[in-house]
Amino acid sequence: MSRHGRELVGLHLRRIHIVHPLPPTPVKQALCCQCGQIRTYKDAWRAQGGYNSADRWRRRMVGRLKCSHCQAITDHALLKDPECRHRDDDEREQLLALGDPPRGASERGRDLERLRREYREAAPRNPNLEHVWWISDANRAIAENAPTLTVLCGETIPTPQSRPESWHHLNNDADRGKPRPVRLDEYEDHETGMSWRDGDCVDCLRVYNTTRLALQRGHLYDWLNYLAHNLLDSLDAVTVDELIEAVKAIHRKSGKSR
């Protein structure tokens, strides 16, 4: 035994590892970017790559692994564990950069302006898209003579000089932007073959529909509360049966167990 009893400490640590063994290194999957073959790996260092935190939006969860089908070391997409609670973090960041409203305190604390700017610097957007914006934002930008206006998807466009009466893709109901029907007459510049396609901004439409759905869910919640607290005792048997069947149908459609 040494003067400081290091041998006893080592024996104690070995006993701890025997009684409480460390969990095995999880097996992860990687997808070959050349042929699509899936292989497994355990250690991230074997992938010779992965996250590059200094290159936020150009980074990819990729690594260099040997593909049994290609018989060579190729780029592989490193797939996250389906049970990982953070497996959709990159997707959520992309949606935030494309105009999604933040959910939860952690997302509300993000610098969305910087996030959207960095995303667009790494992935240029189609300049020929038609966007949707909030009426209050447009009125404020016009009143303040701001050079640009932020639309629903987070893109910035030149501020209109004045508010025309024909802003038919907006309405005044709760300051929500209401998009026009999606245009079908999309075309390309046939002379150069390099022009962006004209069309409607799908991200603006997605944010609009997401916002509208959240508002409608709030209205539904208010109506259900009103029904439960004010009208439930006065409902007749037929109405009660109809409501029960409607709720059961919605529950069956959700696929969840009670």
Per-10-residue mean pLDDT, the chain, length 258: 55 77 81 91 62 53 86 86 74 89 84 87 82 85 89 88 49 50 58 69 89 91 93 92 93 83
pLDDT score for 52:
54
What is the DSSP secondary structure assignment for residue 177, as one 8-state letter? B
Q: Is 204 among the domain residues? A: yes
> What domain range includes position 172?
125-231
Are 59 and 133 found together in one domain?
no
Q: Are residues 60 and 100 in the same domain?
A: no
Per the structure, the count of domains in the chain is 3
pTM of the model: 0.63
Structural contact between residues 150 and 133, judged by C-beta atoms closer than 8 angstroms: yes
Q: Which long-range contacts (CB under 8 A, 24 or more apart) does 164-172 make?
A: 167/135, 169/132, 170/132, 170/133, 170/135, 170/138, 172/135
In a domain, 240, yes or no: no
Domain end call among 61, 87, 113 = 87
- Residue 182, pLDDT score: 60
Residue 31 in contact with residue 47, Cβ under 8 Å?
Answer: no
What pLDDT is stored for residue 1 in this prediction?
46
Q: How far apart are CA 63 and CA 76, in angstroms?
A: 5
Structural domain includes residue 244: no
Pairing state between β 72-79 and 148-150: unpaired
Q: Are residues 103 and 152 in the same domain?
A: no
Position 39 scores a pLDDT of 92
What pLDDT was estimated at residue 44? Answer: 60
Question: Does 67 share its domain with 142?
Answer: no
Specify if 251 maps to a domain. no
User: Two tokens at 130?
Assistant: 């038609």
Cβ-based neighbour number of residue 99 at 10 Å: 24
SS3 at position 40? strand
Please name the residue that has the structure tokens 């939006």: 57
